Amino acid sequence: MQERSEQASNQFRAGINLEITTAGEENLWLDQGFTWLVRSFAFGTVILLFWLVWAIFDKAQPAIQKFGLSFLWSQDWNVADLSFGALPFIYGTLVSSAIALLLAIPIGLAVALVTSENFLPPSVRSPLAFLVELIAAIPSVIIGLWGIFVLTSFIQPIQQWLYQYFRWIPLFSTDPSGYGGYGMLAAGVILAIMILPTMAAISREVLLAIPKELRSGSMSLGATRWETIFGVLLPAGRSGILGAALLALGRAVGETMAVTMVIGNSPTISASLLDVGYTIPAVLANEFGEALDDLHIGSLMYLALILFTVTLLVNIIAVLMVRLIGRQGKMPGF
Amino acid sequence: MSTSHPQQRQSLAALYQPLPIRRTMFNVGMSAIAFALTGLALLPLLAILIEILRQGLPHLKWEVFVSLPAPVGVQGEPNGFANAIIGTLMMVGFASLLSIPFGVMTGIFLSELGQGTGIANFVRFITTILTGVPSIIAGVFAYGVIVLTTKEFSAVAGGFALSVLMLPVVALTTEQALRLVPTNQRLASAALGASRLQTTFRVVVSAAIPAITTGILLAVARAAGETAPLIFTALYSEVWPEGLFSPTPALSVLIYKYASSPFVEQNQLAWTASVVLVGLVLCMSVLSRLVTRRRFN
Phi-psi region of B106 (alpha: psi -120 to 50; beta: other; left: phi over 0): alpha
pLDDT for the residue A203: 94
pLDDT for the residue B6: 61
Average pLDDT, chain A: 87
pLDDT for the residue B71: 83
pLDDT single digits (tens) A71-102: 999 888 888 888 899 999 999 999 999 999 99
Please, which pLDDT band fits residue A334 given cuts at 50, 70 and 90?
very low
Residue A195 at interface with chain B, using a CB cutoff of 8 Å: no
Domain boundaries, chain B: 82-296
Q: Is the pLDDT of residue A131 over 80?
A: yes
pLDDT for the residue B157: 95
pLDDT for the residue A152: 92
pLDDT for the residue B113: 85
Task: State in Å, rounded, how far the first CA of chain B is from the last one.
Answer: 55
Coil/strand/helix, residue A78: strand
Whether residue A14 and residue B116 make contact (CB cut-off 8 A), yes or no, is yes
pLDDT exceeding 70 applies to what percent of chain A? 89
Residues of chain A in contact with residue B170, where contact means CB-CB under 8 angstroms, are none
Domain boundaries, chain A: 60-324
Chain B, nearest residue to A291 by Cα: B232
Chain B, nearest residue to A53 by Cα: B141
Q: Is the pLDDT of residue A199 over 80?
A: yes
d(CA B22, CA B292): 45
Please, which pLDDT band fits residue A23 given cuts at 50, 70 and 90?
low
Return the minimum-mean-pLDDT range out of A2-11, B5-14, B99-108.
Answer: A2-11
pLDDT single digits (tens) B223-243: 999 999 999 999 898 889 888
Residues of chain A in contact with residue B271, where contact means CB-CB under 8 angstroms, are 145
pLDDT for the residue B108: 93
Q: Shortest Cα distance from A151 to chain B (angstroms)?
A: 10
pLDDT for the residue A196: 96
pLDDT for the residue A333: 35
d(CA A112, CA A317): 21
Which range is most confident: A244-248, A322-326, B19-23?
A244-248
Residues of chain A in contact with residue B231, where contact means CB-CB under 8 angstroms, are 285, 288-289
Higher pLDDT pick, A7 / A31: A31
**Residue A158 identity (one-letter amino acid):** I
Q: Is the pLDDT of residue A293 over 50?
A: yes
Under CATH, domain B82-296 is a member of which superfamily? MetI-like (1.10.3720.10)
Please, which pLDDT band fits residue A17 given cuts at 50, 70 and 90?
low
ipTM (interface predicted TM): 0.88
Query: In chain A, how long is the greatest CA-to-CA distance?
Result: 84
| CATH, domain range A60-324 | 1.10.3720.10
Q: Is the pLDDT of residue A6 over 50?
A: no
Please, which pLDDT band fits residue A291 given cuts at 50, 70 and 90?
confident
Could you tell me if A206 and A281 are in contact, meaning their C-beta atoms sit under 8 angstroms apart? Answer: no
pLDDT for the residue B194: 84
pLDDT for the residue B13: 65
Choose the closest CB to B106 out of A35, A45, A229. Answer: A45
pLDDT single digits (tens) B185-232: 988 988 888 888 888 888 999 999 988 988 899 899 989 999 999 999
d(CA B45, CA A142): 11
Higher pLDDT pick, A38 / B72: A38
pLDDT single digits (tens) B122-170: 999 999 999 999 999 999 999 999 999 999 899 999 999 999 999 999 9
Please, which pLDDT band fits residue B92 given cuts at 50, 70 and 90?
very high
Q: Is the pLDDT of residue A40 over 70?
A: yes
Please, which pLDDT band fits residue B294 given cuts at 50, 70 and 90?
low
pLDDT single digits (tens) A250-289: 999 999 999 999 999 988 888 888 999 999 999 999 999 8
